[in-house]
Structure 1
Amino acid sequence: MFEAPTIGIIGGSGWLGRSIALAMLDKAFVQPDALVLSNRSASHPFADSRWSQVPVTHDNQALVRRCEVVILSVRPEQFADLQICAENRLVISLMAGVPLEDVARRTGSRQVIRAMPNAAAEIGKSYTPWLVTPQVTDQQKTFALRLFETFGSADQVFSESHLNYLTALVGTGPAYPALLARTLFEHAVNSGLPPDVARRAAHAVVVDASQLIGNGHSVDELLQALISYRGVTAAGLEAMIAGGFDTTIKAGLEAATSAASSMNPFARSADTIEGPMTR
């Protein structure tokens, strides 16, 4: 069944759902007629005529009936109003903070995967942690990993708490680098640089120079090498650290993790996938 299943994306015209759909199509992971999208208006989300064969509907249950795999790409508060029966389907939830047990209970599927891609899926650079119920088969896990790798890289994790933490760390996508870029930009402008120059300089630091990380250079190696010169970079790094840079970042991650753990609209939580899910 999972050699070439029909895949449905509920919320397929949203930013994330649309990005994942396009990645699967561009990589030929799924054929256009084996992908079904649903949205409120049933309007087609793709301008590219190559994908005009992709069916679009506003009837979520009709999508479920046509598909072996159902991807839920909706906001958690929207899921509270979503009424589908997806028994005997593989359900992949992309919703932050909604535990596996609640997805299973509300969809009728015991084969559920929680995954947390981010906005970098749009450029094929998402990092996607994922978690499964015990009923998900090895074949389905292999399929899911291949699907996630169409828009980046992925790791399986084994507890809800780990997935919630990674939601805070990587589910935020470009938000943390964007905040750093804005701070660098604002300081440069306040120091008298023309805005265009300041913007390009901040971009060069956050986007371009950061590509050295992982390209033959570990984080620790880079920091140690730059600090050891005892020059301009060392002065900047040491002042940032002394000013509480590390503490501020960690506080932000703690707050984001707390939010990810408490945003479930059904007010349920689970640290692991033990208990009712093993029935």
Structure 2
Amino acid sequence: MTETAPTIGIIGGSGMLGRAISLALLDRKVIAETDFWISNRSGSRAGFEQFPGIHVTSDNSQLADACEIIILSVPPGSASGISIDADNRLIVSVMAGVTLAELQALTGSSRIIRAMSSPAAELGLAYSPWVAGAQVDAADRALVTTILEACGGTDEIMEEAHLDHFTAMTGPVPGFVAFYAQCMIDYAVRSGIAPAIADRAVRQLFFASGAMLMHGKPTPSDHVQEMIDYAGTTAAGLISMQNSPIAEAIAEGLDAAVDRARNIR
């Protein structure tokens, strides 16, 4: 952003997701410290000691009065306690399950964007899809794109209902991957491999696999088929898994996460 960039505030800026987004914006110099606010219940600046110029408050209204862009990052069950009058402010919510219409009623603003992100934002590795309300203009879209690109990858989507599906993928995927990794580590340990070595190996393998998926040209489907066509050890494992209920189990897990996103409050 330029020297005339708008002020940004994050309500819930000390929570896991709010802090990750805050650090993404500050570390990548999207916003100057003196133009950045966070609010939390205690008014504590713990976790932000390296940024002495930011403004910290326990008063959401004080933040709303000072900021032109307000990011909402509180637990969905606490949304009703946000208590701000943010008419003509750009509101960017990363709260699961709180609709555009509800956000307008909660904040008094007609410039509303719903997004989903993850704590990987701190590393610039999050994927943050978003959907815009009817009163969001091209300038607002450019601002939210800049903010979310600091967190990683981002796309505007056109259907608000699809955000629940992205919530089910964006939030749980690190947990799903960790579960798969845990299964592989447990398998290695049962085979007699030292736990520390199994843990280190699987972490490195998952890191490398993610980088290959991100930067390689083949789609995941293409990559699977290439491995099967090679007819080696990977093919044997993949064919066994394709013939198992694992795909249905993953879909059921995602359906459960979607349902929770829609009924989280």
Q: Specify if TM > 0.5.
A: yes
Where structure 2 has 5 or more consecutive residues not aligned to the other structure, the ranges are none
Match of 2:62 in 1: 62
**Helix, strand or coil for the counterpart of 1:174?**
helix
Match of 1:129 in 2: 129
Match of 1:256 in 2: 257
Q: What TM-score do the two structures reach when normalised by structure 2?
A: 0.94
Q: Counterparts of 1:94-243 in structure 2 under 5 Å?
A: 94-218=94-218, 219-243=220-244
Stretch deviating more after TM superposition (245-254 or 54-63): 245-254
Cα deviation digits, residues 172-214 of structure 1 (max 9, x gap)? 3511211110111111111221101211222233222332214
Stretch deviating more after TM superposition (20-29 or 2-11): 2-11
Where structure 1 has 5 or more consecutive residues not aligned to the other structure, the ranges are 266-279
Any conservation in 1 of the 2:8–2:70 contact (CA below 8 Å)?
Answer: yes
* Bigger relative contact order (CA 8 A; separation at least 6): 1
What is the alpha-carbon distance in structure 2 between the residues aligned to residue 214 and residue 47 of structure 1? Answer: 31
**Helix, strand or coil for the counterpart of 2:97?**
coil
What is the alpha-carbon distance in structure 1 between the residues aligned to residue 141 and residue 111 of structure 2? Answer: 10
Match of 1:4 in 2: 5
What is the alpha-carbon distance in structure 2 between the residues aligned to residue 117 and residue 8 of structure 1? Answer: 17
Cα deviation digits, residues 110-168 of structure 1 (max 9, x gap)? 11100001121121111001011111111011111011001101011112211110110
What is the alpha-carbon distance in structure 1 between the residues aligned to residue 76 and residue 179 of structure 2? Answer: 25
Cα deviation digits, residues 1-49 of structure 1 (max 9, x gap)? x951111110111111111111111222111111011111111133543
Any conservation in 2 of the 1:72–1:92 contact (CA below 8 Å)?
Answer: yes
Stretch deviating more after TM superposition (94-103 or 171-180): 171-180
Match of 1:84 in 2: 84
> How much does 1:228 deviate?
1.5
> How much does 1:81 deviate?
2.2
**Helix, strand or coil for the counterpart of 1:213?**
helix
Q: Structure 1 residues 74 and 31, CA, compared in 2 at 3 Å: closer, same or farther?
A: same
Cα deviation digits, residues 196-244 of structure 1 (max 9, x gap)? 1211222233222332214234223321221122221111111112121
Match of 1:269 in 2: none
Q: Once the two structures are aligned, what percentage of the paired residues are identical?
A: 38
CA RMSD of aligned residues (A): 1.5
- Letter in structure 2 aligned against 1:101: A
- Letter in structure 2 aligned against 1:209: S
Any conservation in 2 of the 1:119–1:173 contact (CA below 8 Å)?
Answer: no
- Letter in structure 1 aligned against 2:41: R
Match of 1:22 in 2: 23
